Amino acid sequence: MTCLLRQIAAAVKHQIMMLSQLQSYIHRERLFDPAQRLLLAVSGGMDSVVLTHLCVAAGFNIGIAHCNFRLRGGESERDEQFVRRLAERYNVPFYLQQFDTAERAQAQKQSIQVAARELRYMWLEKIRQEEGYDHVATAHHMQDNVETLWMNISKGTGMAGLHGILPKQGKLVRPLLFATREEITAYANAHQLEHVEDSSNATDKYTRNFFRHRVLPLLEEAYPQVVKNTGAGIQRFREAEMLYQQAIAVHRRNLLEQRKQEYFIPVLKLKQAQPLQTILYELLKPFQCSAAQAAQVAELVDSEPGKWVATPTYRIVRDRKWLIITPLEPAASAHFVIEKGQETVQLPEAQLLLKTCDPAHISTDPHIAYIDKQQVQFPLLLRKWKQGDYFYPLGMDKKKKLSRFFIDQKLSLPEKEKIWVLESHKKIVWIAGMRIDNRFRITPGTREALKIELKNT
């Protein structure tokens, strides 16, 4: 009897302590309002069982969601049954989804772990929306967070890898991050909470378990408080990251200037910005520029104009006074075939208009060309210029390389990349917007002219 009383007293004490810590954590991190509806992701493991128990004790309005990844045969079915009964006991809604994880992983060429995680979060968010919950809550705790930090640092992280697992990401909240594994275990024991082996441990299984079972126990020999110390550090790093982002935002405002689809960074001003590497890395990240590429861009700053670094979607070019960030043209738009009689061609940022007319016209606007219609052979080809292209500039009987012509015209690399050329049977007719070819010029013998206009849209 005394033993039972002692157990009850311990349970009450733990409940009061953990509940008050939970509530102050929710308040401090502004996770959610106690009146909101929470969809708990429950694997049936100790962490999620404790989270459920605490949420019920706190009087939160909850539902329980369980994913059966069908990866562990009968064990998966056992877990599903366990969580279903848990929801029944607490008399709260229960949502279940079974996945063909292995199949999905194969189809998407992902690891089982990545596939399981994606399926889980996608489905939880779907249920949240369909069933009208305000947030999805998972049972990640401090030790998960510390493991994540140590793994990130071992892999080689920057500032973003230091915040560990975030307490709040969009509609996802982790209200148990304040608690250590020991506190959760003590709570589960005090309340004699049944649970199953936590199948979510399958995520990052090898490395995470290596840190959990081998690295952290070793560190605890030197620093018994390593989990709490690192946990407190993560909190500070998260705040430090906010300040870091504030400083980056100031540099972005000062350095990055948008002009239509392009972005310009003034080189002289950039050279004075400190720390250059990290500022460039953060400024260029939205352009899919990797850390290694950002380091190459840092070298561009001290190099000759004309060099560039290409990301998967942008080209970053060293111009005389600027770094110019230009979107790569989609390959599909690189060629347009123009049939006889066709009057318009729609380009990504321009329109080409063709019209037969009287040969008496002369254009002073480089965007309008008049050529001898009889000299061209349809279909014409409109394409981007390429290395090796040459033409006979109007008024000259010697051929000239386009690359050379562009240098004389002092075109920057992004300007060059925008240039379209009109081709007739392998001969260049017009460098659109710039100069026609001498071979296609209007002569006294011209009977019919073709007016071609490049209109920027």
Are 265 and 283 in contact by the 8 Å Cβ rule? The answer is yes
Among 434, 447, 451, residue whose Cα is nearest residue 354: 451
HSE-CB at 223 with a 13 A cutoff on CA atoms is 9
Asked if 111 interacts with its own copies (CB under 8 A), we say no
**Using the rule CB under 8 A, is 240 a contact of its own copies?**
yes
157/409 with CB nearer its own copies: 157
Residue 20 annotated as binding site: no
Is the omega angle on the peptide bond into residue 275 within 30 degrees of 0, that is, cis?
yes
Q: Identify whether the C-beta of residue 173 lies closer than 8 Å to the C-beta of residue 32.
A: yes
Rounded CA-CA distance 310/361 in Å is 43
- Number of helical H runs and strand E runs in the chain: 15, 22
Q: Does 8 bind its own copies (CB under 8 A)?
A: no
Instruction: Write down the H helix ranges in 59-100.
Output: 74-90
Contact between 193 and its own copies (CB under 8 A)? Answer: no
One of 12, 107, 122, 250 touching its own copies (CB under 8 A): 250
Residue 271 binds its own copies (CB under 8 A) = no
Does residue number 214 form part of the binding site for its own copies (CB under 8 A)? yes
142 and 179 Cβ atoms separated by less than 8 Å: yes
User: Does residue 157 belong to the site contacting its own copies (CB under 8 A)?
Assistant: yes
Q: Whole-number minimum distance, CB 118 to its own copies, in Å?
A: 24
The reply to whether 166 sits near its own copies by the rule CB under 8 A is no
243 binds its own copies (CB under 8 A): yes
Give whichever of 108 and 154 is closer to its own copies, judged by the CB atom: 154
Tell me if 145 contacts its own copies by CB under 8 A.
no
Name which of 150 and 336 has its Cβ closer to its own copies.
150
| DSSP per-residue string spanning 129-189 | HHHT-SEEE----HHHHHHHHHHHHHH---GGGGS-S-SEETTEE-TTTT--HHHHHHHHH
Instruction: Decide if residue 229 touches its own copies (CB under 8 A).
Output: yes
Residue 299 found at the interface with its own copies (CB under 8 A):
no
**Is there binding between residue 149 and its own copies (CB under 8 A)?**
yes
158, 286, 306, 379: residue in contact with its own copies (rule CB under 8 A)? 158
Of residues 130, 221, 304, 397, which one binds its own copies by CB under 8 A?
Answer: 221
Residue 44, annotated as binding a ligand: yes
As given in the structure block, the two tokens for residue 456 are 């920027």
Question: Which listed residue (20, 108, 213, 223) binds its own copies by CB under 8 A?
Answer: 223
Nearest 5°: CA angle at 161, between 158 and 164? Answer: 155
Q: Which of 104, 86, 101 is nearest to 43 (CA)?
A: 86
Minimal distance in Å, beta carbon 212 to its own copies? 12
Residue with tokens 């690192």: 230
Among 91, 274, 443, 457, binds its own copies (CB under 8 A): 274
Instruction: Tell me the HSE value of 318 on the side-chain side, using a 13 A CA sphere.
Output: 17
Interface segment toward its own copies; rule CB under 8 A; list 105-113, 239-247, 377-385, 424-432: 239-247
CA distance 41 to 47: 11
Give the residue, chosen from 61, 98, 169, 225, that forms a contact with its own copies under the rule CB under 8 A: 225
Q: Which residues contact 398 (CB under 8 A, 6 or more apart)?
A: 392
Q: Which of the ranges 55-63, 94-102, 230-238, 429-437 carries the binding residues for its own copies, by CB under 8 A?
A: 230-238
Which residue, 224 or 286, is less far from its own copies as judged by CB?
224
Among 32, 69, 133, 237, binds its own copies (CB under 8 A): 237
Query: Which of 3, 222, 331, 362 is the binder for its own copies (CB under 8 A)?
Result: 222
Tell me the C-alpha distance between 14 and 189, whole Å.
10
Q: Which is nearer to its own copies, 2 or 274 (CB)?
A: 274
Closest contact distance (angstroms) between CB of 168 and its own copies is 14
Distance CA 38, CA 60 (A): 7
* Nearest approach, Cβ of residue 181 and its own copies (Å): 17
Question: Is residue 366 a contact partner of residue 433, using CB atoms and an 8 Å limit?
Answer: yes
Can residue 180 be called a binding residue for its own copies (CB under 8 A)? no
Sequence-ordered list of residues with C-beta below 8 angstroms from that of 180, at least 6 positions apart, any chain: 141, 142, 143, 227, 228, 231
Which residues make up the interface to its own copies (CB under 8 A)?
Answer: 149-150, 153-159, 161-162, 207, 210-211, 214-215, 218-219, 221-223, 225-226, 228-230, 232-233, 236-240, 242-244, 246-248, 250, 274-275, 277-279
Annotated binding site for ATP: 43-48
